Chain A
Amino acid sequence: MITVDSLTKTYGGFTAVDDVTFTARPGRVTGFLGPNGAGKSTTMRVMVGLTPATSGGVTVCGRQFRDLPNPGLEVGVLLDASAQHAGRTGREILTVAQRTMGLPKSRVDEMIDLVSLTSSEADRRVRDYSLGMRQRLGIATALLGQPEVLILDEPANGLDPAGIRWMRDLLRGYANQGATVLLSSHLLHEIEVIADDLVVIGNGRIVAQGAKSDLLATAGTLVRTPDVTALAHALTVSGVAFTKSAATGGDDVLRVEADTDVVGRVALEARVLLLELRPAEGAGLEEMFLELTSDTQRETVIEGAAA
């Protein structure tokens, strides 16, 4: 269980994390989603005590991270796979962590096997590792102490498709055993296939959170027509709410807050030609993500960021 409570972190006049509150629950994979620079990594660094919070705070397993007696046995952390001493071998990095936690020596080899590093790769120095190998080593370090909470910042970075699939199964297995898994990503599809719960952040603020199924269920219907004006009129008359679809970009698409059969019937009665009619959730999180973050995205907030 990770509880983030009204967390704010400012750097001078810049607010990196702005009053963020959410909970990552046991037995679930919580996806922490946001565009670059949204405050995901800062939030995660505050969680594990590497960055002091300006106000608010985080508890992990019911207490502040710094009060955990042997944090490696309770919380597995991977913040940056490249943050390792380049002159140590992979095996040595795991051994240092294993000794710090006071675990049996055999755990090191178990972890090397688990993340599919070969024995000769494990004996190479980390400066000669690819990003994918560093990522596997970082995951091995995080899992070493069999923790009940995992905090992983962009763990899929640098992994090949098979590696991403492997990691997804691994994290799912962990959550199914009752662990709390929090992972961040800016890659929507990655999060979409694994997360149970979502926390979407943009410019330091949470813009949406909840169960993935709930968030997707509210997405409604996408409808494309050559005669937008007529359809809009018909929908208004029928009392169905709709908006122009931001994510699909086309002028001829409406996102309607009703099921496909309702929209189809309205169009039929108004004799409006439809080119496309489908549940908006088919467009997946991308629709939601772009929509939710469109007013906080990098491209559109240059004046906001300067403030």
Chain B
Amino acid sequence: MKFGIVVNEGPYQHQASDSAYLFCKAAIEKGHEVSRVFFYHDGVNNATKLTEPPQDDRNIVNRWSKLAEEHGVDLVVCVAAALRRGIRDENLAAGFRISGLGQLVEAGIQADRLVTFGD
């Protein structure tokens, strides 16, 4: 089955990003496809490569980048939400791309299920 995922909250502040990641990982391990993760609202903060957590903490941003690299997951950051919050191409982590809200709607149309993680 093909999944689309929406992440509405920033990393470290809220569990939404962790839950979404663990859901994606489990889905892929079960042989499903996660075609796109769409980052919206404060969720766009998952995409900054300037993130530097303490060494004993998980690196949420790198974890997403790795998922994109190893499983071809399309990580899309909403352009309007990103620009409002200072996320731009210059500080975008690997595997992420900035695009429009149409990508969210398209994920809803093309995926078999769209699952939202937020506050």
Bind each other: no
| B interface residues with partner A (beta carbon < 8 Å) | none
| A interface residues with partner B (beta carbon < 8 Å) | none
